[in-house]
């Protein structure tokens, strides 16, 4: 089987067990992103755990438990590396089984092409080969083509549940593939949005009021961005466009309601543009063969210059903590890594550069930790917290207590504005800390 190397690819059918036999101790293996991670290959590779050592597996946003990790609880055989954590990846990291790779999401294809050594084996889940010989990448365009360019051996796990999604670079031809595993008809993981809380609804209401007809939306992961979609269904707003990294069910709702038409977009008019989709079966079926959607590599969707080509870009993203100068820490809790940089900073910058654009960083004012309520608006960030959006980039900040724009504001003005967004129980303490740390000078009213 090793005869089918780069320049002589034949897309030869193999079993998952035969494909897993290609992996050697010390190899780099790439599983790809999200729904593109293979399942049958993963189980077959996990079954070989005792035969292998120090196999390094790179992935992102894992949506199902991985057999390679279940088969190797001590991490003696497989090392798990990750570009962006899901809840599953976070648990693995907490257990010392996963290592984060810092990344601006839109730069991922460039990382593979410029900085990452050749990958020994790539295995990704795709749609089955079509009549023209193409394996569609489906819901996870992201950086997968760049990843395969660096691969010595390319394996696809062809799954009949994977939708075929239109896009300019969203498929691999059979001449670019070495081996094909029959992925069967197992359904894709379905991720349903959690019920919207009263706090999320109030934050969403404040953001929705800032969205005008013809705006072009980017919606990030989390309850608050999804709540905005829910409120926009009932708002008097028209002709919205979509240029986002992640496509979610809430955006499908807006399309079906006729609120998203993409008619006013300067770039890709008429098209809903995204780089990956994650949600329910309804979402996956809605994009299958849909000529009005376009799945693009993440260096197209996320680079600020591309984002800014549309007018009135509205970027909506969550954070977990913000300090009184406007630094947003969105990916860690102290030294504990919880998610990833993703595309937040790139969309913040792209929205700012867009004519009439707005970026929103949203958060609840408080959270509970071990039964104690704590403020997400803080005088100084928790030690070890990673700054995702620097103070110089932060524009609108929103909690359930209001919305402020930090652009052009002095440090004292920022601190005063952000204190007004904190829960009332914490405002006095925050004001005292701001004056003690000279964020608000003595003479400042």
Name the residues annotated as catalytic.
245
CA distances from 439 to 296, 363, 398, 405, 416 (A): 43, 22, 21, 18, 9
Q: Which residues on neighbouring strands pair with residue 30, listed in sequence order?
A: 58, 122
Nearest to 142 by CA among 278, 339, 236: 278
Give the whole-angstrom CA distance, residue 344 versus residue 205.
21
CB 282 within 8 A of CB 250: no
* CA-CA-CA-CA torsion sign (416, 421, 424, 429): negative
Give the whole-angstrom CA distance, residue 299 versus residue 435.
43
- Integer distance in angstroms from the first to the last C-alpha of the chain? 75
- Relative to beta strand 171-173, strand 336-337 is unpaired
Torsion angles phi and psi, residue 322, rounded to 5 = -140, 135
Give the whole-angstrom CA distance, residue 222 versus residue 417.
24
- 198-208 helix and 223-232 helix, angle to the nearest 10 degrees: 60
Give the whole-angstrom CA distance, residue 94 versus residue 101.
15
CA distances from 203 to 185, 220, 351, 360, 378 (A): 40, 14, 19, 10, 19
Q: State the DSSP string of 69-96.
A: HHT-TT-SSEEEEESS--HHHHHHHHTT
């Amino acid at each position: 089987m090793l005869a089918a190397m780069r320049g002589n690819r034949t897309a030869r059918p193999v079993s998952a067990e035969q494909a897993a036999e290609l992996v050697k101790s010390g190899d780099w293996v790439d599983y790809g992103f999200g729904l593109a991670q293979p399942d049958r290959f993963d189980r077959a590779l996990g079954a070989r755990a005792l035969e292998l050592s120090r196999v390094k597996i790179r992935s992102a946003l894992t949506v199902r438990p991985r057999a390679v990790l279940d088969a190797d609880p001590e991490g003696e055989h497989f090392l798990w590396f990750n570009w962006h954590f899901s809840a599953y990846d976070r648990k693995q990291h907490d257990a010392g089984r996963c290592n984060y790779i810092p990344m601006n999401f839109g730069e991922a294809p460039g990382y593979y092409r410029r900085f990452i050594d050749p990958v020994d084996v790539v295995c990704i889940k795709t749609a089955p080969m079509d009549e023209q010989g193409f394996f569609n990448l489906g819901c996870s365009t992201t950086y997968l083509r760049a990843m395969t360019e660096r691969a010595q051996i390319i394996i696809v796990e062809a799954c009949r549940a994977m939708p075929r999604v239109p896009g300019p670079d969203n498929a691999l031809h059979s001449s670019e593939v070495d081996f094909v595993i029959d992925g069967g008809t197992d359904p894709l993981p379905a991720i349903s949005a959690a019920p919207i809380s009263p706090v999320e609804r109030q934050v969403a209401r404040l953001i929705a009021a800032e969205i005008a007809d013809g705006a072009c939306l980017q919606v990030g992961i989390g309850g608050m961005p999804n709540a905005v979609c829910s409120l926009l269904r009932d708002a008097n707003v028209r002709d919205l466009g979509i240029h986002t990294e992640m496509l979610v069910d809430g955006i499908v709702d807006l399309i079906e309601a006729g609120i998203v038409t993409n008619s006013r977009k300067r770039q890709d008019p008429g098209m809903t543009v995204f780089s990956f989709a994650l949600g329910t079966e309804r979402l996956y079926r809605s994009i299958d063969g849909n000529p009005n959607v376009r799945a693009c590599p993440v260096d197209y969707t996320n680079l600020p210059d591309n984002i800014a080509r549309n007018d009135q870009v509205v970027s909506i993203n969550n954070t977990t903590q913000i300090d009184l100068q406007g630094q947003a820490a969105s990916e860690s809790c102290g030294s504990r890594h919880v998610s990833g940089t993703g595309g937040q900073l790139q969309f913040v910058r792209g929205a700012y550069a867009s004519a009439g654009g707005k970026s929103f960083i949203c958060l609840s004012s408080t959270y509970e930790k071990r039964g104690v309520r704590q403020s997400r608006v803080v005088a100084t960030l928790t030690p070890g917290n990673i700054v995702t959006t620097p103070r110089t980039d932060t524009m609108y900040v929103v909690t359930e207590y209001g919305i402020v724009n930090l652009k052009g504001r002095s440090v004292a003005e920022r601190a005063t504005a952000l204190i007004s967004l904190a829960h009332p129980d914490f405002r006095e303490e925050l004001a005292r800390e701001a004056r003690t740390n000279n964020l608000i000078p003595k003479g400042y009213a």
